[in-house]
Structure formats: structure tokens, C-alpha cells
Structure 1
Amino acid sequence: MYLCIHHSSARNLVRNVFNPVPNAYYLIPVLIHFHTIWRFFHSLSPPPRPPLVSTIHLQPISQPVIQSSSHPVIQSSSQMGNVLSSCCSCGRHSRGSGYEPLLLEPERDAVASLLQFLERRTDTNFFTGEPLKSLSTLSFSDNVDLQRSAALAFAEITEKDVREVGRDTLEPIMFLLQSHDTEVQRAASAALGNLAVNTENKLLIVRLGGLEPLIRQMLSPNVEVQCNAVGCITNLATHDDNKAKIAKSGALVPLTRLARSKDTRVQRNATGALLNMTHSDENRQQLVNAGSIPVLVSLLSSSDTDVQYYCTTALSNIAVDTANRKRLAQGEPRLVNSLIGLMDSPSLKVQCQAALALRNLASDEKYQIEIVKCGGLPPLLRLLRSSFLPLILSAAACVRNVSITPQNESPIIEANFLNPLIELLAYDENEEIQCHAISTLRNLAASSEKNKAAIVEAGAIERIKELVLSVPLSVQSEMTACAAVLGLSEDIKGHLLDLGILEVLIPLTNSVSVEVQGNSAAAIGNLSSKAEDYSAFNSVWDKPEGGLEGYLVRFLESSDPTFQHIAVWTCVQLLDSGEHFLENHIRSSKFILPLVTQLALSNDGGTGGGASGSAETGHMDGDVGSSTSEAEDSGEVEIATLAKKVVEMLGLEIN
């Protein structure tokens, strides 16, 4: 998903790119002012209706969806018949005051035809045949009033009928874009923006050179023209194939400048377009080079919710890149405070994106610490306790990253996050939320015995035992990794064993997931080291699902050196306990001793894995690497050494 989560090793983070793509925008009123030559045109057509001022604007979608589109809606107070009836005021103006100008014959015929087509417009396809020919005639006319009528007609038609069209439809509209008349420009860009909702039209508009006139319109001093041109580019930028072309067209600098416009509608369109350009590494870099970061950060304080949302989301995407986070850290000292403030916005979508932006910033330790110091934990806790899934997800993801640095472990626990996090382990509506919650608990337990104890006292182990056999594999992986970390504590491992954690860990050593197998085995190994009471291991020797013996046999005969290492190391811990019943179990097993002996003889080197101290799972945020070794080059030698020790502890000799 893009949402794209990148998992990595210890103390690395999840980095998501959220891509809400606004596909609707605001179009400014298209004002058509008709002239006083009614008497002349009256003789050419039926009596005209009074000229009408038409207002056309698009409304942005209220809840943009990740990598999806929704159709913009133009609202107009005019009727289609009025548009062409107003052509009655159109003529070629003479420099003399006494001359009544006439339309050319093809123009007069086009007006008459269009009036007829508009009378039955519900059954007319204006994108082909005679209707399109008539509109094209008016579009290519030298008469600016006819061009205005054609542009508004295209805008009205595309309000109600958006479909894939050909170049014969787009070319007259794009010709109108090049007009020096602002009213023609506004209506033409409205029509083009409507057609740009269609996927194929987006591509064809760019292929036909539509970006160049739109960029010229963005440079216009007229606010209405700016707004409609930017709105059209916003729609074009929703197609991935167009993004690089837009970035290279020279559009980013004027878009960035227009994001500072005093007109809120222009700001909405410009920031929406900038957001659409943040979905690839190359485009993000071009945005940064165009100076967009200071503009986007400054607009976080906008009073307009849509502008806040677009800027917050764009910054969240920009923060995916390491170099950009460094640039933000150096040049935007108020960014974290601004985003924390937006988590209290009355808009749910702004709250959500603010938390996600903080989550991406928290890919760096500097930001992890700063978020806590600036008071980010209380609003994150509030979002975590929300009943609205997107808020819970964004807050859980953010807290997960913030919890990575050991410096934040105690502050998060002291801020009362443990109970909400443990409750979210059962949030089966969303697997990601479960993963974020358990991974956060694992991070909080990583470096402090006190924190491990607090997590266990809050009921985390009971909840893990209750859920771990039924949750998705990704959640199982995180839960077993957390159990492995908690099992390192000598103070609480006895409590974990008393709670029966082995009863669920042993079946998971036979999981279809290698990660779940390894994490479960690592947890068992950690619990087997220096426990005060080994009766729990005796109870599970042959059950459930083959019990402890079955697990050891599977791992000893595995072709994976890491699994071999965990199993033989666990045997050493069990024998080192001095418990005779465990020694007898291992000695009497038909399979364990022969397999251990075989490993003891296999000491010619290799690439196995393991660690002699424990089967520890580190403090990380991603796929678990709990059972892997940092000394792979000496793995098989170490396995052989441990295997020999098992044989010696049993008082046997290797034949």
C-alpha cells in the first residue's frame, strides 16, 4: 500500500507515505458581460433572453481518499439556453460609431445550430458531430464575445457530462485558453478542469501541450484566472504519468508562489497541487528546490481547514526522505509545535494528518525527543483513545516511532499509555493498529527492568496469551518478539512462566512464518535462562503440539543455523538449571541427543547464526530479527561448541 511501510532492523522505524489526492478544486465565477448590440442580432435569431451572469465553481472533496479520485462538481446558476442566447449581443465592433457589425455566415449558422441543440441538450452529445463543430466555430472566431459564449458553453456542458474526449474536443478549449480575455480564460480552464477528472483526458491534455497555457494563466495578475488554472493543474497532477512532466514544466515555482496568495481559493488549489506532487522522490526534491517547504510550513497556521490539510499532508510526505527531515530540522524550528497544535484541530482529517506528519518526522531521534519535550504525548493519547479508526491508527503509528529512543520510554509510560496500548492489542478491526500497539510495548520494554515490570503488571502478558494464537501472522510476530524482550528480565520471567506463556509459545515454534517461529523460540530460550522454577518447562515437555521436545527436535534438525543455535543454546540453559527431570527428559529423548551429537561433529565452519548470551530481541520497529546473529561467519563453530557442551553436561563422550 502506498501507504508503503518499510520495515527494517533494530532501532529503525516505520515510514509511511500517505497520499490523499484532491481531485476537485475551486473555479472562480465566470462573468460574461454582453454588449449593447441586441437590435442587430435580434434580426438573426429568435428574441434573446436577458443576459445572465453565470457563477461556476468546483467544490473540493471533503474526505480525499488515498490514491483515488472523485469528480468535481461545477455549480452554475445559468441555463444552457441563456448562454447561446446571449450571443445575440455578439458582433464585430467597428471603430466607427454608426456601423452595425455583422457575424460571418458560418458563425451565424453555428449560433442557430447551437440554440437548437441546447433546446434538446439532454439528448445531445456535444463532443462530436455538428454540436462540436458549432462550438469549435465559435471558439476559433475572432469575435471575443463568441469566444466567451463558447467557453462558457463548454464549461456548462462539462459540468454535467464528463467523459473521455478526443483532441477535436480539447483543441478548441485549449485555443480558448490562449485568449487575452480573462473571462474566456476562466471559462475555458473551468471546462478543461472538468474534463481533467477523466483519466484518459488527463493524459491527452498534457500530451497536447495543455501545461504551457495553464502556466501562463498562473502568472496572470487576475486572481480568478490564477485560481482556475491552478485548479486544472491540480486535477492533471493526480495522474502519476503527469507528475514528472508537471515538475519539469516550470509549474512548481508559480504553484509555490500562488500558495501564498491572499485568496483562500487560490491557496487551496495551489497547496492541493503541491500535495499531488509529493508522491515520488524526484518530485519531492524538485518541490524542495522550488522553495515549497517554508511556504507549506507557514500555511499550517492558515484559518482554512483544507489548506491546513493539504499542507500537513504534503509535509508528511516530504518528511519521508532523510535529507528533507534534516532540512526541516535546520530551517523550521516551529514545525513540531505547529503539528502538535493541529492535533487539536476541530477537523478530524487535519488531526489525523498532523499525527502522521509527526510520525514521519519521528523517523529521526531528534524529532522523537522533540515531540515529547514539546508536549506531544497528551494529544497523542487523546487520539489513541478515540473511537475513530483513522485517528487511532495515526496516533498509534506516531507513538510507535516516538517510543524507539530509550529516552522516551519512561515518559510514555508515565503519561498513562500502557492501558490504552494493551487494549488495542484486541483491536481486530485493523491489523496495523494491533502491530503498532504491541511494537510500542516492545520498544518501551527494551532497556529498563522497571518498564518491563510495569508492562507485565498492566496485564500485557495475559492479553498476549489470550490473543496470540488467533491474531494475524504480522501481529503474532510482534507479540512473540515482545515476549522475547520481556523474557530477558530475571525479575519477571517467573511470573511469565506462572501465567503459562509457554503453552502458546511452543505451538508457535511450528508456525508457517519463519519470523514467528524464531521469535517464539527466542522467547522460550530467554525464559529458560536462570529461571528460579523450571516446573513450567517440565509441564510442557511433550504437549501441546509435541511440546518442548518436539520444538527442540524440529530446530535441531533444521537447515537454518540460526534455529540450530537457538535450540542447542536452550538445551544448555535447561541442563544448567540442575533440574534432574529436565536432564532425564533430554537424556531419554530418542532424537535430541543424536541430533546434538551430530552438530557437535559439524565444526568445519559455515554461516550459521546465534548469540552466546541470550536469544534477545532488540529495541526495534519493523520486522523482528530476534534470532539472527551478528557473527554469521563463525556460526557453525559456535553451534558445535554449544553442542559439545550439552554432551559434556550429560557426562557423555562424542564418538
Structure 2
Amino acid sequence: MGAACSSILTASACCQDNTHREDEPLLGDKERQAVNMLVELFERRTTVSFYEGEPLKALSTLVYSDIYHLQLSAATAFSEISEIDTRPVSREALEPILYLLQSPHIDVQHGASAALGNLAVNMENKLLIVRMGGLEPLIRQMLSPNVDAQINSVGCITNLATAEENKMRIAKSGALLPLTRLARSRDVRVQRNAAGALLNMTHSAEHRQQLISAGSVPVLVELLGTDDQELQYYATTALSNIAVDEGGRQLLWETQPTLVDALIRFVDASTIKVQCQAILTLRNLASDDQYQIQIVEHGGLDALLPLLQSAYDPLVISAAACLRNLSIHPDNEEHILSSGILPCLVNLITHTGSEEVQCHVISALRNLVANNDADKTPFAKAGLFEHIREVISDPHTSDVVMGEMVAALSVFVLDDSLWPYMVDDGYLELLIPLTHSESVDLQCNACAIISSMASKAGEISDRLVQVWDKPDGGLQSYLAAFVKIDEGMDPTLRSLAIWTVLMLLESGSPELVNLVTWHPSIVKNIKKIAEMGALDEERARHSAYASAGSAAGPRVSRAFEGEMFGDDADNGDEADDDIYNRMESLAQDVVALVHSLEH
């Protein structure tokens, strides 16, 4: 408070001196009383609120005085008070500050904008400042040639722009053009504040589009070339947000040919927070196939590899998320596998310190396996199934991670070079208990994987026999439970169970055929399902449930669903409507096969 107190004391001395020069204004009685009160109040300022009552009235008297020195004292006092006291304030407290902001004197404006910037760290104050018309004078101050005025006004708008309600008003106020211009200022303090304000405006699609229209994108890309790490961080984060939108990515692709190279340089060598944001920007850009290819061609994999091995989780998460998107493009598979990244990805499956890492890496591996029909033996030899087994067997594994792991297995099991490893590694024993999971999605994928393995029953009949009654009741318990006519049973799950029975019967294994046909309820219940009309009532309930707007049931892994249900399985509503017809058809195939075996 020293400066403010000093200014007020100087004014007090002036008004008590009988030797005034003719050109010095004289204080009126109210002004003299206000000055004397404030001198006394500042002596015990830590216990006084200057935003209400007599202290605010005294400061307001100085604000509305015609004497420049008193206005400057009031502006300076508000600036310093607000540095240590940022509580929510009333309209009455903001009005004199906003009045000072419109002063013709730059130093008075400077103190007022500093006070607003300090108060604008409080959410209630942010909203009130804008509602009371604070943007217009702040914008005028941004246009001032005075650097200090630019710093304060832009800093205040940066704070105001963190409130969602304010962003639209800021965008419509005309502030984006001067903010964009000031992001090119020669003063790094002005640049930082301006870049921070632009960043705060990138958190919604509408405001990102307005920034694009204001010409901010080339400026943000230019800031990547500065040596200031704060500016690098603001620019990469803003560009990352712009790259969320398809239109933003297309604009960057068409107008910023050097962007990927600049970001990869940051990934290679920069502060950790800039590295993270650069990687996340690359991840968002890699939502488009053209960027997926370009990032790999420009050395992105070499930059990501050491970060996957970092001891700092945010870097690992960012790198794994970026690689997840890069793995989508089939042309990148060979580059990824030859880069040495595969062992890192496999090892990160058991990175229990971060669920995000586990989910990203298993999704990347799933993409790589699904991309083409090449031999995937290197995945298994890298320890893929040992690591997944460890995660699934861990009782502390979260439902989210478990779901991602099993969804990936539903893709792996379809690969001719991988499914034998799953059988040999005991995945039947791991998956059968999951058919009893409370998560229907987890149930669906577990059942789909078991069904896919059952389609190889002629080759693995011994393993299927071994799991017929264990663990957790074994295969027979799962099949018996799912083929019951039960209104609570999802039709997709029941269809998977019937299809599995059909595969076992077609296996050619006498032992498997006997286990199925001699079971007390499996074939018996499937015969009921095969009877035309036996499921009419349940079908009606299912249709009514779906029509009410609820999900018609979980969707099994699409890779497997097409194999079992036909090519139209991807037509969501049609597949749901037709599931009962397919179920009856499968049941009829089972009954016919049992009949032929009996004869």
C-alpha cells in the first residue's frame, strides 16, 4: 500500500499548506475529509475493507474529484488494495474503478486496469466486470501505444476470458483482432498476456472459429518459433485446441506446412509441459489420415519412442495417446513395428500407475493387429498375452481397463497367427468367469471371444473339454445360463451362446458332442427357442424397451459380430430388430444337427 498511502499523504499536505501556487487546485471540504480519513484508514489497512462503507465512500470522493492527483491516488490505492484482497465485490465497488478506466490520463487508466485484473481472478468479479461494460474501455486501453497499459488491459481480459459466460461477449466485442496484433508485440510481457487471452478463447468450437476468422492461427504458429517457453506453451495448447475440430485441422493442413516439424522439434527438446502440449497437438492432428502419415514421415516415431520410456507419467500418457492415433493408418504399421516401439507398447500394458496409459497402448496394439492380414507373431513373441493376462488376473484392475483389454482380445482372437497363443496361454480359463461379469459390455466381448475359439473346436477340442465344468462352473455353466428363456437375458448374449453350442456340435469331437447332448438343459432349452413363436412375448418386450429410447442391448465386438450375424450386422437398428429371427435360426440349426447326430 506504500505508494497509495504516500500519494494521499502528499495531497493532504498540499491542502493544508497556505502557500499554494495559483495553478495548484484547492481541495474542497469533502475531498479534504476523504483524504484525512484514508490517511488514518491506511494506518490499519489490514483490518479495513475498502470495498464498502465509509472507506469506499472516501475513495469514491477521490475518484470523482476534478483533481488529477486525487484520481491517480485513488487508482493506485485500488490497484494495491486489490493485490491482497480479491474478494467478490459489489457493483458499487466496481463503478469507481470503471470510471477511472475511462480517464484521459494513462497512469490513472493503468492503475484502474491493474485493479480490475487483480479482482478478475475471482469468478463472481469476472462476470460482474463484463456485465457492467468493462470490456469496451479495456479494449481502448489495449490500443494504447503505452506498453504498461497494454500489459494491464490484456492481462485483465485474459483473466476475464476464463469465464465461459464472458467468452462470447469478448468474441463479439472486437477484442480478438487487437489481441491477435498484440501477440506479435516486441514486449514479451504483452505477448504472453495476449497469447494467454487467445488460449482462453479456444475452449469451445464456436470461439475457435472466431479466432480463425480474426487471423489468430498464423500468429500462434509464429509463436512456436520464439525462445520464450511460456509463449511456446500458450501457442501449442491453443493450437492443440484448434486441432480438435475437423475444420481447424483442415485449415492448419492447407496453410501451415511447417507445423508438424515445429511440433516434433518441441517433442525432441523442450520443457516437459511444452513437450506434453506439442505431443497432444500432434495427437489431435493425427485424427486425420493425412497427418497420421505426415507425422510418421517427418520423424514423429523417433521423437515419441524415448518418451514412452519416460519416468514422468504425463509424458508417457501424451506419447501413448498420440501413438494410438498414428496406429490407425494401415500404412504406418510397418514403420511402427520397425521403429522399436512394439516392445515399449507391450511393456506399458502393465503400467498400473496410469489407466490412461494402459487404455491408450492396448488400443494402439489393437489398431496395429486389425490393420492388415500380415503375420502378427511378433506381437505374441513380445509378450503381448503374458502382459494382458497379468492385467486381467489382477483383482485391482479397474472396469475401464478390463473392458479395453477384453475388447482388444476380441480383435486378437480373429487373427490366424494370434488365436493359438490365446488358447495355449489359458485364455479360455480367464474369460469364462467374465461371462458372469456385472458389466454387460464385458460379458459380450468375453462371450464373443469364447465363441470365436469354439469355431476352432475341431483343433482345440481337448482344451474345450478341460474347461467344460471349470473354472466357475466352466463352459457348460455359461451356456446353460445363457440359453434359458429369461426376460432378463440380452438377445445378443443368448445368440452368442447358441452359436457356440453349434460350433461345439460341428467340431467332430465325440467327447464334445456327448458333453453337449447329454447336458440336462442346454439342448432342451435351445429346442424351445427353435419353436416358432416361442419368443414372441419376449420379442415384444424387447421391442417396447428399445422403442422407449433405451439401448437395445450391448453391441458385441464388430469384428466378430459380422462373422456370426452377417454383413448387415453393422446396421444397428436393423440388427437389433432382426436378432430374434437370427436366434431362432441358429437354434433350429442346433436342433437339426442334434437330430442328425442321434440318427
Output the TM-score relative to the length of structure 2. Answer: 0.89
Residue 451 (structure 2) aligns with: 525
Quote the RMSD (CA, aligned, Å): 2.8
Q: Does 1:283 align with 2:207?
A: yes
Q: For the structure 1 residues 520 and 626, does the alpha-carbon distance in structure 2 shift closer, same or farther, using more than 3 Å as the test?
A: farther
Could you report, residue by residue, the CA deviation over 1:436-490 in whole angstroms, capped at 9, with x for unpaired residues? 1111111111134546322111111111112114311111111112212221123
Residue 441 (structure 2) aligns with: 515
Correspondence for 2:417 among 461, 468, 491: 491
Residue 366 (structure 2) aligns with: 442
Q: Does 1:195 align with 2:125?
A: no
Displacement after TM superposition at 1:270 (Å): 0.9
Q: Does 1:637 align with 2:581?
A: yes
Letter in 2 for 1:535: D
Could you report, residue by residue, the CA deviation over 1:273-320 in whole angstroms, capped at 9, with x for unpaired residues? 111111222212211221111111121112111111111111111111
Q: Does 1:126 align with 2:70?
A: no
Could you report, residue by residue, the CA deviation over 1:343-384 in whole angstroms, capped at 9, with x for unpaired residues? 134311111111111111111111111111111112222222
Q: For the structure 1 residues 602 and 266, does the alpha-carbon distance in structure 2 shift closer, same or farther, using more than 3 Å as the test?
A: farther
Could you report, residue by residue, the CA deviation over 1:167-216 in whole angstroms, capped at 9, with x for unpaired residues? 12111111111012111111111111101111111111111111111111
User: Does structure 2 retain, via aligned residues, the 8 Å contact 1:484–1:616?
Assistant: no
User: Does structure 1 retain, via aligned residues, the 8 Å contact 2:376–2:417?
Assistant: no
User: Does structure 1 retain, via aligned residues, the 8 Å contact 2:293–2:331?
Assistant: yes
Residue 578 (structure 1) aligns with: 508
Correspondence for 1:567 among 479, 497, 518: 497
Q: For the structure 1 residues 511 and 537, does the alpha-carbon distance in structure 2 shift closer, same or farther, using more than 3 Å as the test?
A: same
Displacement after TM superposition at 1:228 (Å): 0.7
Could you report, residue by residue, the CA deviation over 1:22-79 in whole angstroms, capped at 9, with x for unpaired residues? xxxxxxxxxxxxxxxxxxxxxxxxxxxxxxxxxxxxxxxxxxxxxxxxxxxxxx9x55
Correspondence for 1:615 among 553, 556, 560: 560
Mapping of residues 246-265 of structure 1, within 5 Å: 246-265=170-189
Q: Could you tell me how far apart the structure 2 residues matched to 1:412 and 1:193 are?
A: 49
Q: For the structure 1 residues 272 and 397, does the alpha-carbon distance in structure 2 shift closer, same or farther, using more than 3 Å as the test?
A: same
Mapping of residues 247-396 of structure 1, within 5 Å: 247-396=171-320
3-state DSSP of counterpart to 2:595: coil
Displacement after TM superposition at 1:575 (Å): 2.4
3-state DSSP of counterpart to 1:387: coil
User: Does structure 1 retain, via aligned residues, the 8 Å contact 2:160–2:166?
Assistant: yes
Q: Does 1:548 align with 2:475?
A: yes
Q: For the structure 1 residues 196 and 646, does the alpha-carbon distance in structure 2 shift closer, same or farther, using more than 3 Å as the test?
A: same
User: Does structure 1 retain, via aligned residues, the 8 Å contact 2:12–2:32?
Assistant: no
Q: For the structure 1 residues 627 and 459, does the alpha-carbon distance in structure 2 shift closer, same or farther, using more than 3 Å as the test?
A: farther
User: Does structure 1 retain, via aligned residues, the 8 Å contact 2:127–2:165?
Assistant: yes
Residue 621 (structure 1) aligns with: none
Residue 142 (structure 2) aligns with: 218
User: Does structure 1 retain, via aligned residues, the 8 Å contact 2:328–2:371?
Assistant: no
Residue 547 (structure 2) aligns with: none
User: Does structure 2 retain, via aligned residues, the 8 Å contact 1:312–1:354?
Assistant: yes
Residue 66 (structure 1) aligns with: none
3-state DSSP of counterpart to 2:257: coil
3-state DSSP of counterpart to 2:217: helix
Correspondence for 1:479 among 378, 400, 405: 405
User: Does structure 2 retain, via aligned residues, the 8 Å contact 1:309–1:353?
Assistant: yes
3-state DSSP of counterpart to 2:370: coil
- The one of the two structures with greater contact order (alpha-carbon pairs below 8 A, sep at least 6) is 1
Displacement after TM superposition at 1:86 (Å): 4.0
User: Does structure 2 retain, via aligned residues, the 8 Å contact 1:488–1:616?
Assistant: no
Q: Could you tell me how far apart the structure 2 residues matched to 1:602 and 1:452 are?
A: 44
Q: Which has the higher helix share?
A: 2
Q: For the structure 1 residues 648 and 612, does the alpha-carbon distance in structure 2 shift closer, same or farther, using more than 3 Å as the test?
A: farther
Residue 459 (structure 1) aligns with: 383
Q: Could you tell me how far apart the structure 2 residues matched to 1:466 and 1:629 are?
A: 37
Q: Could you tell me how far apart the structure 1 residues matched to 2:573 and 2:386 are?
A: 30
Q: Does 1:406 align with 2:336?
A: no
Correspondence for 1:423 among 342, 347, 358: 347
Q: For the structure 1 residues 535 and 582, does the alpha-carbon distance in structure 2 shift closer, same or farther, using more than 3 Å as the test?
A: same
Displacement after TM superposition at 1:650 (Å): 2.5
3-state DSSP of counterpart to 1:224: helix
3-state DSSP of counterpart to 1:163: coil
Displacement after TM superposition at 1:632 (Å): 4.5
Could you report, residue by residue, the CA deviation over 1:548-574 in whole angstroms, capped at 9, with x for unpaired residues? 112223333364332223222222222
Letter in 2 for 1:499: D
Q: Could you tell me how far apart the structure 2 residues matched to 1:181 and 1:451 are?
A: 76
Q: Could you tell me how far apart the structure 2 residues matched to 1:90 and 1:286 are?
A: 52
Q: For the structure 1 residues 612 and 244, does the alpha-carbon distance in structure 2 shift closer, same or farther, using more than 3 Å as the test?
A: closer
3-state DSSP of counterpart to 2:145: coil
The answer for unaligned runs of 5 or more in structure 2 is 544-551, 564-568
Residue 527 (structure 2) aligns with: 597
User: Does structure 2 retain, via aligned residues, the 8 Å contact 1:647–1:653?
Assistant: no
User: Does structure 2 retain, via aligned residues, the 8 Å contact 1:352–1:394?
Assistant: yes
Q: For the structure 1 residues 612 and 288, does the alpha-carbon distance in structure 2 shift closer, same or farther, using more than 3 Å as the test?
A: closer
Displacement after TM superposition at 1:97 (Å): 8.2
3-state DSSP of counterpart to 1:261: coil
Q: Does 1:138 align with 2:62?
A: yes
The range that moved more, 481-490 or 152-161, is 481-490
Could you report, residue by residue, the CA deviation over 1:393-439 in whole angstroms, capped at 9, with x for unpaired residues? 11111111111111222222222222222222222232222111111
Residue 648 (structure 1) aligns with: 592
Q: For the structure 1 residues 614 and 157, does the alpha-carbon distance in structure 2 shift closer, same or farther, using more than 3 Å as the test?
A: closer
Letter in 1 for 2:494: Q
Letter in 2 for 1:104: G
User: Does structure 1 retain, via aligned residues, the 8 Å contact 2:350–2:390?
Assistant: no
3-state DSSP of counterpart to 2:41: helix
User: Does structure 2 retain, via aligned residues, the 8 Å contact 1:190–1:232?
Assistant: yes
Could you report, residue by residue, the CA deviation over 1:67-113 in whole angstroms, capped at 9, with x for unpaired residues? xxxxxxxxx9x55532423436878xxxx986444223322222222
User: Does structure 2 retain, via aligned residues, the 8 Å contact 1:566–1:615?
Assistant: no
Output the TM-score relative to the length of structure 1. Answer: 0.81
User: Does structure 2 retain, via aligned residues, the 8 Å contact 1:509–1:517?
Assistant: yes
The answer for unaligned runs of 5 or more in structure 1 is 1-75, 619-624
User: Does structure 2 retain, via aligned residues, the 8 Å contact 1:602–1:636?
Assistant: no
Letter in 1 for 2:523: L
Q: For the structure 1 residues 474 and 627, does the alpha-carbon distance in structure 2 shift closer, same or farther, using more than 3 Å as the test?
A: farther
Q: Could you tell me how far apart the structure 2 residues matched to 1:265 and 1:617 are?
A: 59
User: Does structure 1 retain, via aligned residues, the 8 Å contact 2:483–2:494?
Assistant: yes
User: Does structure 2 retain, via aligned residues, the 8 Å contact 1:519–1:627?
Assistant: no
3-state DSSP of counterpart to 1:396: helix
User: Does structure 1 retain, via aligned residues, the 8 Å contact 2:30–2:61?
Assistant: yes
Q: Tell me the percent identity.
A: 51
User: Does structure 1 retain, via aligned residues, the 8 Å contact 2:445–2:557?
Assistant: no
User: Does structure 1 retain, via aligned residues, the 8 Å contact 2:375–2:417?
Assistant: no
Letter in 1 for 2:518: S
Q: Could you tell me how far apart the structure 2 residues matched to 1:480 and 1:282 are?
A: 38
Q: Could you tell me how far apart the structure 2 residues matched to 1:494 and 1:594 are?
A: 32
